[in-house]
Amino acid sequence: MLQPIEGSAAVAKAVALCRPQVVAAYPITPQTHIVEGIARLIADDDLRCELISVESEFSAISAILGAAAAGSRAYTASSAQGILLMTEVLHNVAGLRIPLVMTCANRAIGAPVSAWNDQQDSMVMRDTGWIQLYCADNQEAVDTTIHAFRIAERTELPVMVCMDGYILTHTLEVIDLPTQEQADAFLPPYHFARTLDPRKPLTIGTLVTPDFYTEARYANHRALIRAQEEILAADRDWEKISGRSCGRLLSVNGPYDADVAVLSIGSVMGTLSDAREQHPELGPVKLIKLRSMRPFPIDELKRACERVSELIVLERALSPGGGGIIGPEVRAVLSELHSPPRIHNFAAGLGGRDIPLEIYPKLIEAARAHEVTRFAIIDVDIDKLAVEDR
């Protein structure tokens, strides 16, 4: 049913549609409205669920780890420092192969303190072994949340649904909120093969010696790669029910033969799309929306860039001392192409800085330049820095 609804409230309702039995959370802006929404649904008896208001994000993720291991569908949401505080547990959940879903309301990381959006928080969690799906708008956030539970439970891997903080979480827009029947048709009741059960006592969380640790890591790696099939299946199956796709692992929008492409991730895709419409004079440009950061869609990326000669990678995080995070990965994958595109890697929109429509012509212009931009923060104003810090 279409309705104007704030992103966080919509995600809360999407979570509720998945009938979680345990939600644990600790407040951090901009994640708070999601958990407030769930608390409200529970208070109004629209959701039967144990809400644990824990004393830290560390305990939030730990508690839902326990809950999922004990046989309940479980969920949490967090942001920024909260995600970072969870770091140790995030690795642990993935290693234990426990199906969990977490919303990351993306936010910058201090210091300096910034309460505003970027994607540094989830990007530094890239290597935790979680599936990471990024949402371009709140409809995707709703649909991906529902996908996420099925993907997690079928793959026995945790899924992080990333949505830009404020830009999505605090924005009211019109969304088609699925019905309970649709959700139930898509998502079977929770089942975890290794549930903690006195009738069949298992020991979870063992010590593994060098004899088998490598194999354990390999198995996790393979599980993430194989999860691509479940991510695709979820999107397809949900499309049959809802009529909407979230863009598989990666989606391409624009002329097939465009030799310029912009690859980005998250909510900036819409701005880029509108900007492209405003600037037909800049020629045909393909927009590549990266949805699945992990597993990284290698084949899809290669296919999308086969005919591209100039690829701009725009991201909202960076690896200080290295450059971009997505950019180098893209560059590595596309180096396998027969004739790889030139890849221009930009970061923008850090710590809440607006990414305006005007970024688009700048990006295209940079792509046309003689020199490849290996990495740059496109919206930096170095005049604001002391000379020695430039």
Partner 1 sequence: MDSPRSNSHTVAELHHKQPAFRGLEAGHLACSGCGQALGARLVTEAIGPDVIIANATGCLEVFTSAWPRSSWRVPWIHSLFENAPAVASGIEAALKAQGRATKVVALGGDGGTFDIGLQSLSGMLERNHNVLYICFDNEAYMNTGVHRSSSTPHAAMTMTSPSGKMRMGKRHLKKDLLAIIGAHQIPYAATATVAYPSDLRAKVRRGIEIEGAAFLLVHSPCPLGWGHDGALSIEVARLAVETGIFPILEMERGNVVTAMKIRDVRPVVDYLRPQERFHHLFDDSPEARDELEHLQQLADHNIERYRLTASQPEAHDSEGVDTVGRGGMRWS
Partner 2 sequence: MGDLTEIRIEGRGGQGNVVAAYMLARAAFEDARFAQAYPSFGPERRGAPVSAFVRISDEPIKQRCQISDPLYVIIQDPSLLHVPNICAGIRADGGILINASTEVAPARFPGIAHVTSIPATAMALRVLSEPIPNVALLAAFLTLTELIPLAAYERVLAHRFHGQDLKSNLQLVREASSYVARSSWKEASHAAAN
Partner 3 sequence: MPTLTRGSFAHGATSLSLKTGDWRLQRPQHRHKAAPCATECPAGENPQAYIAKVAEDDLRGAWETLVAANPLPAITGRVCHHPCERGCNRGSFDQPIAIHNLERFLGDRAIDERWNYPINTPSPDAPQVAVVGAGPAGLSAAYHLIRRGFWVTLFDAEPEPGGLLRSALPPYRLPREVLNREVERLLAVGIVFKPTHRIGRDISIDELRADFPGVFLAPGTSRAREWTIDGVVPSDLRTGLDLLREWNSIGALPEYNRVAIIGGGNTAIDLARVMRFMGVEEVHLITFQRLPGPGVRPKDAMSATPREIAQALEEGVKIHEARGVRRLIMRGDTVVGVEVVHMKELDHHGRREPVAFEGTETILKVDQVIPAIGQQLDAATFGRALTLPGVFVGGDARMAGGTVSGAIGDGRRAAIAIQNYLEGLPEDVAVPLRSIAFNELNVNYFEHAPRVQAPLLAVEQRCADAEIEGALSQGTIVGEARRCFSCGKCMSCDNCWTLCPDNSVLKTERTEDGWQYVFDYDHCKGCGICAHECPVGFIDMVNEP
Q: Which residues bind to partner 3, rule: CB under 8 A?
A: 95-98, 156, 193-194, 201-206, 208, 212, 215-216, 219
CA dist 97 and 104 (Å) reads: 19
CA dist 229 and 241 (Å) reads: 18
Q: Taking CB under 8 A as the rule, does residue 116 contact partner 2?
A: yes
Residues of span 88-107 touching partner 1 by CB under 8 A: 88-89, 92, 96
Shortest spacing between CB 198 and partner 3, in angstroms: 10
DSSP label at residue 41? H
Shortest spacing between CB 96 and partner 3, in angstroms: 5
Pairing of β 159-164 and β 172-176: unpaired
Q: Taking CB under 8 A as the rule, does residue 46 contact partner 2?
A: no
Q: Taking CB under 8 A as the rule, does residue 59 contact partner 1?
A: yes
Q: Which two tokens stand for residue 269?
A: 């895709």
Binding mask of the shown chain, residues 187 to 206, with x at each position contacting partner 1 by CB under 8 A: ---------xxx-xxxxxxx
Nearest residue to 96 via CA among 199, 223, 210, 231: 223
Q: Which two tokens stand for residue 124?
A: 């530094």
What's the angle, vertex CA 114, arms to CA 113 and CA 116, rounded to 5? 165
Binding mask of the shown chain, residues 129 to 148, with x at each position contacting partner 2 by CB under 8 A: --------x-----------
CB-nearer residue toward partner 3: 199 or 370 = 199
DSSP label at residue 132? E
Q: Taking CB under 8 A as the rule, does residue 35 contact partner 1?
A: no
- Check if the beta carbon of residue 192 is closer than 8 Å to that of residue 71: yes
Q: Taking CB under 8 A as the rule, does residue 379 contact partner 2?
A: no
Shortest spacing between CB 330 and partner 2, in angstroms: 23
Q: Taking CB under 8 A as the rule, does residue 372 contact partner 1?
A: no
CB-nearer residue toward partner 2: 328 or 352 = 352
Residues of span 267-326 touching partner 2 by CB under 8 A: 267-271, 273-275, 277-278
Nearest residue to 359 via CA among 283, 268, 244: 268
What's the angle, vertex CA 142, arms to CA 191 and CA 155, rounded to 5? 30
H or E segment at 229?
helix 210-242
Q: Taking CB under 8 A as the rule, does residue 4 contact partner 2?
A: yes
Q: Name the residues that contact partner 2, by CB under 8 A.
A: 2-4, 6, 30, 115-117, 137, 164, 166-168, 170-174, 267-271, 273-275, 277-278, 352, 354-357
